[in-house]
């Protein structure tokens, strides 16, 4: 039987038809005026998305490329840096740093909780020669949100550069790079930017650009210096993912036509409605301070979440995401970042309720959908 496929994974996410069509245009060569115009245009528009007047470099690669680029362009072997392990992606900062010989001071917190900014302050006081603090705005593996604004207030008074992984948060959660005093923001294309995977971004503030001058870790393909000097010449050091950049031009128009504040407000509404739905159906939320990009449902003790995930994906063709590492089988994650509206959330909540019911979980079928609908109705 034909079944409609629906994607609710926290990356890749649904790509709007307008963007897909733009990307289907015949190939153009990147070293020519027509493409250079697009490249300059998207580079400017990205500044509005990151809320910065600093340059944003575009790398061809997934989000992790921008993370690794931040490490190798800002630091030298033996430098000290702080990271927070509160999930898979915060953990990744520690692993990348260690792989490059950086002395990582990893703050371990329970996955699903948010780091207290005071812990970063303590870490910096303990090691005043710390060169960088690596954080994760939306820890996608738990859907936990980090208070990067408060952390930026702390790093602003130190020599440490604050790097924020906003791979899954940019456009979904409020993020004001310049106003908040963040030095580097990294992101990826396949989340709320509504594109296929393949592009990575790094917005580089003045403190970060100054730190780059002292960094001696080896770099070539991921060199920010190369990317920045080429950006001044309206181009990239290497062949860019041409079709993705063209798609980005379209998706950024959609994003900026909506406007950053309304965009954040839409994500907040989708998130609040989804959270209300999850609670109303009788489930709990996993993250202590949840992001507006995705919602993690805490599944009942002893219940095998893998079965729910497979039922949704294989029977209903509603693909969400399960848990990673020790959260495997314990949570199910629903994305609402990017190309999603209120009706999408009613669909996914309905599917989750039905699947849980069929699997014998004591849920109140219809209550989750009703709660979300009442939220959207302003009741």
Q: Which is nearer to ligand PMP, 90 or 368 (CB)?
A: 90
Place of tokens 């690596």: 134
Contacts of 226 (CB under 8 A, 6+ apart): 220, 237
Under the binding rule (CB under 6 A), the answer on residue 168 touching ligand PMP is yes
Which of 339, 31, 60 has its CA nearest to residue 202? 60
Considering the complex, state which of residue 60 and residue 373 has its C-beta at the smaller distance from ligand PMP: 60
Binding mask 8-47 for ligand PMP (x = CB under 6 A): ---x------------------------------------
Site for ligand PMP in 124-153 (CB under 6 A): 136, 138, 140
Query: Which CB contacts under 8 angstroms, 24+ apart, belong to 53-57?
Result: 53/178, 54/177, 54/178, 54/203, 54/204, 54/205, 54/206, 54/209, 55/203, 55/204, 55/228, 55/231, 56/201, 56/202, 56/203, 56/204, 57/201, 57/202, 57/203, 57/204, 57/224, 57/227, 57/228, 57/231
Minimal distance, residue 10 CB to ligand PMP, in Å:
6
Nearest approach in angstroms of CB 146 to ligand PMP is 10
* Pick 270 or 280: Cβ nearer ligand PMP: 270
Tell me the closest approach of the beta carbon of residue 350 to ligand PMP, in angstroms: 26
Task: Rule CB under 6 A: choose which of 181, 188, 240, 305 binds ligand PMP.
Answer: 188
Q: Phi/psi at 204 (nearest 5 deg)?
A: -120, 105
Binds ligand PMP by CB under 6 A, chosen from 167, 182, 320, 369: 167
Tell me 313's DSSP state.
Answer: I
Tokens of 323: 């848990």
Residues 174, 179, 181, CA angle at the centre, nearest 5°?
100
User: Of residues 68, 165, 249, 344, which one binds ligand PMP by CB under 6 A?
Assistant: 165
Q: What does 88-128 look like in DSSP terms, one character per residue?
A: HHHHHHHHHHHHTT-EEEEEE--BTB---HHHHHHHHHH-T
Which residues, including other chains, have CB under 8 Å from residue 42's CB and lie 6 or more apart?
58, 245, 248, 249, 252
Looking at the Cβ atoms of 11 and 338, the one nearer to ligand PMP is 11
CB of 281 to ligand PMP, least distance (A): 26
Find the shortest distance in angstroms from Cβ 69 to ligand PMP. Answer: 12
One symbol per residue from 52 to 91: x for binding ligand PMP (CB under 6 A), - otherwise; what is it?
----------xxx------------------------x--
Does 319 contact ligand PMP by CB under 6 A?
no
Q: Which is nearer to ligand PMP, 197 or 329 (CB)?
A: 197
**DSSP line for 316-352:** S-EE-B---GGGTTTEEEEE--SS--HHHHHHHHHHH
Provide, rounded to whole angstroms, the least separation between the CB of residue 99 and ligand PMP.
15
To ligand PMP, the closest distance from the beta carbon of 121 in angstroms equals 23
Task: Give the count of residues interacting with ligand PMP (CB under 6 A).
Answer: 13
- Contacts with ligand PMP, residue ranges (CB under 6 A): 11, 62-64, 89, 136, 138, 140, 165, 167-168, 188, 197
């Amino acid at each position: 039987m034909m079944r409609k496929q629906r994607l609710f994974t926290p990356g890749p996410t649904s790509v709007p038809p307008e963007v897909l069509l733009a990307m289907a245009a015949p190939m153009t060569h990147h070293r020519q005026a027509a493409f250079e115009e697009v490249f300059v245009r998207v580079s400017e528009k990205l500044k509005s998305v990151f809320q910065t007047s600093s340059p944003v470099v575009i790398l061809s690669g997934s989000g992790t490329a921008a993370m690794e680029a931040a490490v190798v362009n800002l630091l030298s072997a033996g430098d000290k840096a702080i990271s927070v392990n509160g999930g898979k992606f915060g953990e990744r900062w520690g692993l990348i740093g260690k792989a490059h010989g950086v002395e990582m001071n990893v703050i371990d917190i329970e996955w699903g909780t948010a780091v207290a900014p005071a812990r970063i302050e303590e870490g910096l006081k303990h090691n005043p020669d710390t060169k960088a603090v690596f954080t994760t705005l939306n820890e996608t593996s738990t859907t936990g949100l980090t208070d990067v604004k408060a952390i930026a207030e702390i790093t602003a008074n130190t020599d440490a550069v604050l790097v924020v992984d906003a791979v899954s948060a940019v456009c979904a959660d409020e993020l004001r790079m310049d106003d908040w005093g963040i030095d580097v923001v990294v992101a990826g294309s396949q989340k709320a930017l509504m594109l296929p995977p393949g592009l990575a971004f790094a917005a580089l503030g003045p403190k970060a650009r100054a730190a780059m001058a002292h960094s001696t870790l080896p770099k070539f393909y991921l060199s920010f210096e190369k990317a920045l000097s080429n950006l001044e010449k309206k181009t990239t050091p290497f062949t860019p993912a041409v079709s993705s950049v063209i798609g980005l031009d379209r998706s950024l128009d959609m994003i900026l036509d909506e406007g950053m504040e309304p965009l954040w407000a839409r994500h907040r509404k989708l998130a609040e409605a989804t959270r209300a739905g999850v609670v109303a159906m009788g489930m709990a939320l996993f993250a202590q301070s949840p992001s507006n990009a995705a919602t993690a449902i805490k599944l009942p003790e002893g219940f095998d979440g893998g079965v729910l995930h497979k039922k949704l994906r294989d029977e209903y063709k509603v693909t969400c995401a399960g848990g990673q590492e020790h959260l495997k089988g314990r949570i199910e994650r629903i994305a609402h970042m990017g190309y999603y509206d209120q009706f999408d959330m009613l669909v996914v909540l309905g599917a989750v309720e039905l699947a849980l019911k069929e699997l014998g979980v004591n849920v109140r079928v219809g209550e989750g959908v009703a709660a979300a609908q009442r939220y959207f109705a302003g009741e």
